[in-house]
Structure 1
């Protein structure tokens, strides 16, 4: 991974256009080819980015960028669309590269791991006609908790959390973006499953077309007898 702290301006050109004026930012170049532009605020989400597959080329600044004081231009081009991320670098404050090696993936806590196993065994909790494809479906950015098919044969990616918040929705969104590039799988729908889903996460998920499912952990593991409930 390469981490560059630089004074730069950024333009995204393609299906949409966006401009970030000159400021100090973190430019992150990952081994998978993705390039992300971060500020010192806004939590974990980048201000702009280009997802792989893409190419990065650098060259001395020319034309309007050079006239504005830039010394180098980064051009990040998607290999599947005409989208481009153009970074005009005015000053490099730090430039470091670190080999992170192969990531072992996210280790679930006991409840999440158990929920995943139980849901795989009781996949009908997602709806009648669902069938399991596999657990821990591998992707370039990490394993999808469960991949299954619905009654119509549509592929469904399931992200499982104990408590579902916005981070989990963002994680599933990244998986869906990647899986939907595979013509053998697309179109892939998403299900965000958790024991508890926070209201903000539900709004974000539904806005992105992701279905939310609340899991009853006790009932799924057979320790909750509905006949003994008062309500």
Structure 2
């Protein structure tokens, strides 16, 4: 991972246009190629980012950029779209690279782990004819919660959360991009499954062709028996 603290401005063009004016920010370039721009606030979410597959090049500033004080320019281009991130760096305060090694992955809490086990046991919850391939399907960037096949035999990757937010959709997107490179699995579709799914996450998932499924934990456990309820 490369970590840079710099005074910079950032422009994002493609499906949308966004501009971050000149300020001191944290720039992160991860081993998977992703580039993230952080401020010293706003919790864990970056101000802007480019998800893989993408390529970053450090290029010379234009004459106009030099006149405004730019000393270095990063150009980040997404491999499958016209989305582009351009970072104009005026001053570098810190620049270091670190090999973090292979991450063992997130250790899921009890409820999330149980949801995974229950959904794998009752994979037909996702649709008639679905069959389980494997839980914790290994990939180079971490295990996919569930890989299964739909009624037509096509591969489906499932990401499971208690509360589904944008980060979960981004995580599943990265898995799908990687799995779809495997000719034995391609084409791979995605299902984002959670007990609660935030509206923003649902919109992002739908934009990326990912199906959202709301999980009923009690129903999966066989506790929610309608015959025992008064209402």
Do both proteins adopt the same fold according to a TM-score greater than 0.5, normalized to the shorter chain? yes
Whether 1:66 aligns to 2:66 is yes
Whether 1:26 aligns to 2:47 is no
Whether 1:110 aligns to 2:107 is no
Deviation at 1:116, TM superposition (A): 0.9
Q: TM-score, normalised by structure 1?
A: 0.80
Deviation at 1:206, TM superposition (A): 4.2
Deviation at 1:226, TM superposition (A): 3.9
Deviation at 1:28, TM superposition (A): 0.4
DSSP 3-state at the match of 1:93? strand
Give 2:125's aligned residue: 125
Q: TM-score, normalised by structure 2?
A: 0.80
DSSP 3-state at the match of 1:113? helix
Give 1:169's aligned residue: 169
Aligned residue pairs total: 231
Which residues of structure 2 form unaligned runs of 5+? none
RMSD: 3.1
Distance 2:70 2:178 in 1: 34
Q: How does 1:175-186 map to 2 (within 5 A)?
A: 175-180=175-180, 182=182, 184-186=184-186
Which residues of structure 1 form unaligned runs of 5+? none
Give 1:75's aligned residue: 75
Give 2:47's aligned residue: 47
Whether 1:228 aligns to 2:199 is no
DSSP 3-state at the match of 1:85? strand
Give 1:137's aligned residue: 137
Deviation digits for residues 204-231 of structure 1, max 9, x if unmatched? Answer: 5445443332333333334444432333
Deviation at 1:89, TM superposition (A): 1.1
Deviation at 1:128, TM superposition (A): 0.4
DSSP 3-state at the match of 1:160? strand
